[in-house]
């Protein structure tokens, strides 16, 4: 008879895989990159597999909210899955912007699963930034 060392943590991976992951998947939160150029604030988000008509973008003075829904396709409803990790359902992500923006001039593109939102900074925001050089003593 072989002796097997007992490992109390041996089932943890399976536990997390089977019970915790579905809870996280229910609340999809797309990843975002936020950066700025001289005149614009740019927000990029990975939301592949979602139709443009299922995406809503709300631009405030100092925030952007991306929300929508990934819908299950007819063939997916009928499939007998061995494993299902791609989240379906509603999602939402709100990000605070580093500068005040002109929300009325916002523009967006959606290509290859990447949503890019470009919003011009307000004139006051652009003028509020001043670069200086250190004085040499």
Decide: pTM greater than 0.85: no
CATH number of the 30-77+87-128 domain: 2.60.40.790
What's the CA gap between 28 and 77, in Å, rounded?
A: 19
1-5, 73-77, 120-124: range with highest mean pLDDT: 120-124
Residue 49, CA atoms < 13 Å, CB-side half-sphere: 13
| Cβ atoms < 10 Å from Cβ of 128 | 11
- Higher pLDDT: 84 or 1? It is 84
What's the CA gap between 80 and 60, in Å, rounded?
A: 43
- pLDDT digits 0-9 by tens, 1-59: 567 677 777 766 666 656 655 555 445 788 999 999 999 999 999 988 888 999 999 99
């Amino acid at each position: 008879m072989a002796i097997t060392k007992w490992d109390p943590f041996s089932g943890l991976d399976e536990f997390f895989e089977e019970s915790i992951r579905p809870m996280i998947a229910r609340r999809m939160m797309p990843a975002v990159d936020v950066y700025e150029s001289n005149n614009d604030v740019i927000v990029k988000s990975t939301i592949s597999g979602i139709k443009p008509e299922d995406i809503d973008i709300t631009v405030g003075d100092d925030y952007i909210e991306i929300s929508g829904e990934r819908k299950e396709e007819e063939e997916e409803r009928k499939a007998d899955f061995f494993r299902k990790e791609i989240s379906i359902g509603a999602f939402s992500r709100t990000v605070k912007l580093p500068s005040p923006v002109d929300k009325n001039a916002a523009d967006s593109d959606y290509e290859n699963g990447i949503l890019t939102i470009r919003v011009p900074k307000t004139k006051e925001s652009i003028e509020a930034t001043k670069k200086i050089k250190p004085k040499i003593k």
